[in-house]
Amino acid sequence: MPALPWVQRETLDPETTYLAMASYLPLKRRWSIPGFLRDTLAIRRQLARAEGLIGYALDAEVVKGVFWTFSVWRSQEHLDSFARSDPHRRIIERLRPRMSQTRFEFFPVSADNVPMTWEKRKASLR
Percent of the chain scoring above 90 in pLDDT: 87
Digit-coded pLDDT (tens) for 82-103: 999 999 999 999 999 999 999 9
75-81 contact pairs (CB < 8 A, 24+)? 75/19, 76/19, 76/106, 77/52, 78/19, 78/50, 78/51, 78/52, 78/53, 79/19, 79/21, 79/52, 81/51, 81/52
CB 107 within 8 A of CB 124: yes
**4-123 maps to CATH 3.10.450.50:** no
Q: What is the pTM of this model?
A: 0.93
Q: Where along the chain do its domains lie?
A: 4-123
In angstroms, the CA 56 to CA 43 distance is: 11
